[in-house]
Structure 1
Amino acid sequence: MFFKRIKSPYLKYGLIVICSFAMALIIFILSIYFGAWGGLPSKKELSDFQYQRASEVYTADSVLIGKYYIYDRQPIPYENLPQHLLDALIAIEDERFFNHSGIDYPSLLRVAFKTILMQNESSGGGSTLTQQLAKNLFPRKERETKNIAINKIKEMIIASRLEAIYSKEEILTHYLNTVSFGGNTFGIESASLKFFNKRVVNLRVEEAATLVGMLKATYGYNPRIFPEKGFNRRNLVLQSMAKNNFLTGVERDSITKIPLKLDYKEFDHNDGLAPYFREEVRKQLQDWSRVEKEKGNDYNIYTSGLKIYTTLDYKMQILAEEAMMKHLKSLQKKFEKSYGSNAPWIKNKKLIEKLVRRIPTYRKLKASGWKEKEIMDSLNQKRRMELVDWDGKINVEASTIDSVSHYMKFLNTGSLAIDPTNGAVKTWIGGINYKYYKYDHISQSKRQVGSTFKPIVYTAALEKGIAPCTYFSAQEVEYKNLEGWSPSNSSKKDEVYLNYSMEEALSNSVNTVAVKILEKTGILETIRQANKMGITVKLPNKPSLALGTGEIQLDQLAGAYASYVNNGKPVEPYLIQTITDQKDSVLTVFEPKVDEKKAFSDENRQIMIEMMKSTVDKGTASRIRSTYNLRNALAGKTGTTQNNKDAWFVALTPKLVHVTWVGLDNHEIGFKNTALGQGANAALPIFALWYQKLNQDSSFDAITKTEFERPEETVVQKLDCQPIKRDGFFKRLFKNPKKKKTKRFKNRNSNP
């Protein structure tokens, strides 16, 4: 009836078209509303959505050092959002945020006019912050042009529902906790930590404007990748803040002149502080979550937003990594120079090929049916690649085989410091570069420990009743029942005539004496002593045990040595103190594992400390005093294994136990000579350089300025003897220094 009254056919048909279009649009919107184009979340679902939250790893002094996540997100409450951040966001993204109910119709009309009629592609999308939140919560799965309208309408409907459920403050909070900043970083807190290394609550105005400016194009306005674009975009945000009366003109002009300054800190699993430590924490968390799941608690370390408070000391770890890098960079150069052009990574083709056969590329080609020559020819093809050394990254023309040769020459390390009273890990360095060397030389590696095992041999001897002033000849012996095995020393030429007290023999690491002490004590008795001190690995029931041929994990060695400064009680190093949920409610407290039973008598403990103090003061570790000028209370033991494959140093202080290993991952390559590869030269400096740094920081005075307990008078008396006795005239007269003494090694023990 209405259309019949209209006389003009043009007007009539025009109105019919408009009404038909409007009806079709209404039907189209209703079809989306009722789910014909895919379901929409209900108000109930929207009122109960959960974030996937990154779990955070903290040091003992509450410094964030890492995260475990699928999406790097750390949600925060509205109270933690500074007002200038909110002002910046509203000014640049949604000026009428507090005046609309989720959909800004004037803005939509503006965009439609500019886009459709004026063909202005830079007119923007007209989306409100609430619509953007809808998109954050329910990302668009299809990006084709034909689906844009559907997605837009869906987001409008969701936005209207969100506005009905949440306050404006809650919407702002949810938006800032879900918005992407690129690079798998979600939420303003994670972005703030990443770009400025600070919490959101501490952001300055210009820093907040920088992050808000990124939201238009997280890559294009990334201030790290494109600093000039990031700077200009930041200033545009500040301009908008002034336009909306959030800043005065004077404030705007002043702040826009401030240079763009980032403190970029990517929470990358391969980089950052203590990556080996963080990986070991992750492994232990996975074990913990499995146990918790059996109890009915479903915690996911990647999505549950856990907070893991560890034992690590932040400043100590920084200084430890600096000391390690300084020493090994220098040692690497000396190591390569010692081999010269005859280095095994250059000349030993069989060894290189052996290592090549272990790499995944070789195995994949082999499994595909390639012949050996074809594989090697393929892997020998040169191409542009990136290699890494101590000076950084280098781009070179090299083959896969060249790459294997390059990386096989690098020295590696394991370095650990613990609190001897409870085993709390203070520093943890599992290797030289986690990105390229994933193998952890603390938690995964077992290496021969060399002379660092000798204190355990000596402790067993003392426990058996052998007096510390018992003298043992340094003369080399060939043991007939051990296939002519003849351990030797690398010390004085006239040692065939010398007889060492136990203290002097230990401080100078005399091999021949260590074997004789083991023989007198008993191998199995010594193994029992090691077990009492927390060493659980199977040790060889052989006389070579005295020289440290047993393969022991570094952390077990540290726990055993802790007994010397922990009242005779060994400890088990531990990494995690507490785990809390996202609301800081404690879920688990990890208790230290300290053996309540003493591994040896208190008197023998004091004797061993005095002996190891002599090692530092005048023995194999004396360069701590002479070269590094450390005057602290220190005891310790160096260690070097056969063919200079492993260098060790264990340092004891009243408050810390520190163990260092240096060597190569490939057991077939060792140091060229003992002067370079001995523990005192290859491993000791890492501790010494680190402790120098601790001495320079007064905050460590409670550790560095402590003293060992004063030994009891009986201990002093038992050690009061001449260090070395020389054979008498007639004994020397009838002893042939060029002829080895031969005898049978007597193993006195029964099975343990």
Structure 2
Amino acid sequence: MAESRKKQTKPKQSNRKYIIGFWTLFGVGVLAVIFFFLLAGWGVFGKMPTFEELENPETNLATELISSDGETLGKYYRENRTPIKYDDLPQHLVQALVATEDERFYKHAGIDARGTVRAAVYLGAKGGASTITQQLSKQLFTEDFSTDNTFERVLQKMKEWVIATRLERQYTKEEIITMYLNKYDFLYQAVGVRSASRIYFDKEPKDLKPEESAVLVAMLKNSALYNPVRRPDLVENRRNQVFVQMYKNGFLTEQQKDSLQQTEMKITFSPEGHDDGIATYFREYTRQFLTDWIEENPKPDGEKYNLYRDGLKVYTSIDSKMQEYAEDAVTKHLAHIQQEFDRQNKNNRTSPFRDIDQSMIDNIINGSIKRSARYSKMKREGKSEEEILASFDEPREMRIFSWKGDIDTTMTPRDSIRYYKSFLQAGLMSMDPTTGEVKAWVGGTNFKHFKYDHVKQGKRQVGSTFKPFVYATAIDQLKMSPCDTLPLNRFTIPAGKYGNIKDWSPRNSGSGDDVYSGMMSLKEALANSVNTVTARVIDKTTPGNVISLISKLGIDTEGFPTGPAIALGTADISLYEMVSAYSTFANKGVRVKPVLITRIEDKNGTVLFQNVPETYDVMSEEAAYVTVNLMEGVTRYGSGARLRGTGREVRLDYQRAVTGYPYDFKNPIAGKTGTTQNQSDGWFMGMVPNLVTGVWVGAEDRAVHFPGITYGQGATMALPVWGMYMKSVYANEDLNISQDDFERPENLSISVDCATYGKSNNPDSGAVEELDF
């Protein structure tokens, strides 16, 4: 019996040994894991984030340019990231994320134990175990590397776990979701869900539909693989699987799931590159402004702001709708008039140049070569002049601009330079004269291919749009009235009177003695752009007084010509300066410096810059009103019997085809067209009480122009842009653009109500400067 008991106790001793051994090994394993966790947390296996880093994770936030109506115009970034708050996320996006990426997200503390065990047992065959928090930890703080070394992968995973648990202690679940969606790279410079929503669907995240949210969640598995632009079918299948997960987790009914799976996947691809989107020329101007501002305004600690990663909010004066209308008008008009320009150049042996010989053409092309990026780059690389010039004659594949879309072709860089010279360009600026706020800025036709800004960079001869400055000087200083009359006969200012080299005798257009006989009121003389009357006016005021006035109006007069010929617009002035100057007339003689940036904030909303309007009293309210009244005469009386044989019919046909002529503006409008020598520049300046808009059209080089006045004048080149733009602006009643009369001063002492307008059948000096309203 005793022997039997001995035999029965032996197994118990043996089991105890195994049990003790198991728990010992288990304990050692647990301690080892804890020890490894501690080592990872202490940074033994690599740098770990500090408490401050967890509070303020580096996210390379893009600087955002915001319009006056709250729309994003563009961004400056290394990574295109603009964070949003949890409240701005649609609920179905959050549900799709949790259902697809981390079903037990709200139940774990950063590590999903059940998922980890499942992944370990099945070696990942039934899904991984990486939680949303772990994915965020990897994005924020751990190195992004792949390795075949199992030990290194284990260490990497441990670091993720440690950081994930810290994130869970530090942040709420909502904050973790928000950080994750703000950090993820959705391709095409779409870093973060807000950029992705705008780039793939052209809308803010809060406006996403459930099927659109599912597309973005589908991309989270692998955005390079699940690319909706390149692999739409693959992404649609993955999107439908997201719906399955949402149904499985109770976020969708079966009927909703089936309905959504049948929904067509629609992508509205709207890239946000620096060359894409609206207001590209304005954005480039603003980038330069901000670069200078940053140099002069450091942070409190002395460090400089970083335009590309500090998440500044830059509030601008631009109205996004008006900007769209302006760009649309420029595009529509230029695309159409370019066809006529190309047609007229078909038989031009020196196309696109006119009136110059081959040596001058060569000088233009060679000058452009030396200003090109290619030339500068090769020069920096130490290439010789011969090597550089030879490279411009080597054919190469390139993508070139056309109004029908970019074209892939092969040509030499020299030929591409000549090709680009053939395109007409345009500039438009629109400004509220009462506040100085610039509402629209179109610097050219296509920023990607034509970087030069024709609003502020470019200065061109302004033609007859300069004449209102001459008349304004006479009204302000001499109290001349629009009803005053002057003779039309030939008029000469002798050499030496104003420093000019020889006698100056401007001509009126037309033929015969009739164009130089009789009298004409100032109002009709400006409306018909009569040169001899303008010459008499500047002789009365003197060129020096005119230059003094335009300087006060904000025009840079350094190096300005001083002779009386400036009356006919021989000086080079930027569109920016012209709009600013004309705005003074509309604003009762007070010049308000153009406002582009209204406010700058840091990423926390602290105001760093607040614009303070700069105003200058330039002329009396009476003089400003009388000048405006003169320009109203241009739009009311600038047509008449003289239109016969001037090409008006051609313009009407053109405007019917392009702009839906007539514009049918019944409200008071003040304006002036301008055409320069050889039809190199076409201008129109148009004003209503609370909006002044200037338009310039021409080619990059003055030797590229229309051969005749019919298409080469301001009324055909520039006016249609203004007309289409204003038609769209007036159609949008929310913009509140005035259709009222310009306010008449009390006790007006200068007569503006002229009973007659002199010789109404007299032609003008610019051939056809009238407006077709």
Same-fold status (TM-score > 0.5): yes
Q: Which residue of 2 aligns with 1:732?
A: none
Opposite residue 249 of structure 1, the aligned amino acid is E
How many equivalent pairs are there?
Answer: 713
Asked if residue 342 in structure 1 is aligned to residue 357 in structure 2, the reply is no
The answer to whether 1:514 aligns with 2:527 is no
1:613 aligns with 2:632: yes
Cα offsets for 1:651-694 (capped at 9, x unmatched): 11122111111112224433323332221121111101212223
Q: Measure the CA separation in 2 of the matches of 1:585 and 1:357.
A: 45
Q: Do the aligned residues in 2 keep the contact of 1:620 with 1:680 (CA within 8 Å)? A: no
2:585 equivalent among 564, 568, 575: 564
Q: 2:739 is matched with which residue?
A: 705
CA distance in 2, matches of 1:486, 1:617: 29
Give the deviation of 1:425 after TM superposition.
0.8
What is the CA-CA distance between 1:520 and the residue it aligns to?
Answer: 2.1
Distance of 2:92 and 2:350 partners within structure 1: 62
Cα distance change of structure 1 residues 111 and 537 upon mapping to structure 2, 3 Å threshold: farther
Q: Does residue 439 of structure 1 match 2:448? A: no
Residue in 1 that maps onto 2:402 = 389
Once the two structures are TM-superposed, the CA of residue 630 in structure 1 deviates from its matched residue by: 2.9
CA contact (8 A) 1:474 1:500 kept: no
Provide closer, same or farther for how the CA distance between residues 349 and 43 of structure 1 changes in structure 2, counting only shifts above 3 A.
closer
Structure 1 80/464 Cα, relative in aligned 2: closer, same or farther at 3 Å? closer
Q: Which residue of 2 aligns with 1:734?
A: none
Inter-CA distance 66–717: structure 2 relative to 1 (3 Å threshold): closer
- Give, in angstroms, the shift of residue 544 of structure 1: 1.7
The one-letter code of the counterpart of 1:576 is I
1:25-57 Cα shifts (integer Å, max 9, x gaps):
777666544433322224454244354332322
| 2:28 is the alignment partner of 1:36 | no
Question: Residue deviations 1:194-220, cap 9 Å, x none?
Answer: 222333333332222211111001122
**What is the letter of the counterpart of residue 594 of structure 1?**
T
Q: Which digits, 9 at most, give the CA deviation of each residue in 1:234-253, with x for residues without a partner?
A: 11011011112222212211
Structure 2 distance, partners of 1:360, 1:175, is 40
Which position in structure 2 is the counterpart of 1:501? 521
Once structures 1 and 2 are overlaid, which stretch shifts more, 398-407 or 585-594? Answer: 585-594
State the SS of the aligned residue for 2:129. Answer: coil
User: Which of the numbers 536, 541, 545 marks the counterpart of 2:562?
Assistant: 541
* Structure 1 residue 416 displacement after superposition: 0.7
Gaps of 5+ in 2: 1-12, 653-660, 763-773
Counterparts of 1:225 and 1:662, CA distance in 2: 39
TM-score, L = length of structure 1:
0.86
Q: What displacement does 1:725 show? A: 10
Partner Cα distance (1:364, 1:269) in 2: 21
Letter in 1 for 2:407: I
User: 1:241-269: CA deviations, max 9, x gaps?
Assistant: 11122222122112211211233333222
Question: Residue 76 of structure 1 aligns with which residue?
Answer: 84
What residue is the counterpart of 1:178 in the other structure? Answer: 183
SS of alignment partner, residue 586 of structure 2: coil
Deviation sequence 1:451-475 (CA, Å, 0-9, x none): 1111111111223326331413342
- 2:696 aligns with 661
Q: Is the 8 A contact 1:561 1:570 kept in 2?
A: no
The whole-number CA distance in structure 2 between the counterparts of 1:704 and 1:15 is 86
Q: 1:420 aligns with which of 417, 426, 433?
A: 433
Relative distance call for 1:186 and 1:458 in structure 2 (3 A) is: same
SS in 1 for 2:146: coil
Contact 1:560 1:570 survives alignment (8 Å): yes
Identity of aligned residues (%): 37
Secondary structure of the residue aligned to 2:401 is strand
Distance 1:294 1:374, change over 3 A: closer
Aligned to 2:599: 578
- Provide the residue aligned with 1:132 in structure 2: 135
* Per-residue Cα deviation, 1:33-87 (whole angstroms, up to 9, x for no partner): 4433322224454244354332322221212222222322232333333332222
Q: Does the CA contact (< 8 Å) of 1:420 and 1:563 recur in 2?
A: yes
Kindly provide the amino acid, as one letter, of the partner of residue 56 in structure 1: E
Amino acid in the other structure paired with 1:493: G
Paired residue for 1:487?
Answer: 506
Farther off after superposition, 341-350 or 521-530? 341-350
Query: What is the CA–CA distance in structure 2 between the aligned matches of 1:378 and 1:300, rounded to whole Å?
Result: 37
Q: CA deviation at 1:406?
A: 1.2
- For 1:465-520, what per-residue CA distance to the aligned partner results, in whole angstroms no more than 9, with x for missing partners? 26331413342648455335443232353323344332222111122332232122
Q: Which residue of 1 aligns with 2:706?
A: 671
Q: Distance in 1 between matches of 2:206 and 2:476?
A: 60
Quote the residue 2:4 is aligned against: none
Matches within 5 A, 1:695-734: 695-700=730-735, 702-709=736-743, 714-716=749-751, 719-720=754-755, 722-724=757-759
Post-superposition CA distance 1:426-459 (Å, at most 9, x none)? 1111111111222211122222222111111111
2:724 is matched with 689
| Deviation, structure 1 residue 549 | 2.1
Aligned to 2:614: 593
**Secondary structure at the residue paired with 2:298?**
helix
For 1:473, the equivalent position in structure 2 comes to 488
Post-superposition offset of 1:524: 0.9
Give 2:476's aligned amino acid.
E
Please tell me whether the aligned partners of residues 335 and 671 of structure 1 are also in contact (alpha carbons under 8 angstroms): yes
Q: Which residue of 2 aligns with 1:319?
A: 325
**SS class of match (2:345):** helix
Letter in 1 for 2:145: E
RMSD (CA atoms)? 3.4
Distance 1:345 1:373 in 2: 27
**Which deviates further from its counterpart, 464-473 or 342-351?**
342-351
Output the amino acid matched with 1:335: F
* Aligned twin of 2:211: 206
What stretches of structure 1 of length at least 5 have no aligned partner? Answer: 728-752
Structure-2 separation of matches of 1:379 and 1:304: 41
Deviations 1:622-642 (A, max 9, x none): 979985443331111111222
| Residues 1:476 and 1:195: Cα distance change in structure 2 (over 3 Å) | same
Query: Cα offset for 1:17?
Result: 11
Cα distance in 1 between the residues matched to 2:594 and 2:399: 37
Give the letter for the 1:92 counterpart: T
Change (3 A) 1:464 1:299: same
Task: Kindly provide the amino acid, as one letter, of the partner of residue 329 in structure 1.
Answer: A
- Pairing 1:60-71 to 2, within 5 Å after superposition: 60-71=68-79
Matched residue, 1:462: 475
CA distance in 2, matches of 1:562, 1:175: 49
Distance 1:493 1:507 in 2: 21
Letter paired with 1:457: V
The one-letter amino acid paired with 1:154 is K
Distance in 2 separating the partners of 1:704 and 1:722: 28
C-alpha displacement at 1:98, in angstroms? 2.5
Question: Residue 417 of structure 1 contacts residue 427 of structure 1 at CA under 8 Å; is this kept in 2?
Answer: yes
1:125 CA displacement: 4.0
Deviates more, 1:468-477 or 1:270-279: 468-477
Which residue of structure 1 aligns with residue 670 of structure 2? Answer: 635
Deviations 1:154-205 (A, max 9, x none): 1112112222333333322322222222233332233223222333333332
Is 1:317–1:427's contact at 8 Å kept on the other side of the alignment?
Answer: yes
For 2:509 and 2:383, the matched residues in 1 are separated by: 50
Aligned-residue offset at 1:133 = 1.0
Structure 1 CA distance for aligned equivalents of residues 184 and 439 of structure 2: 37
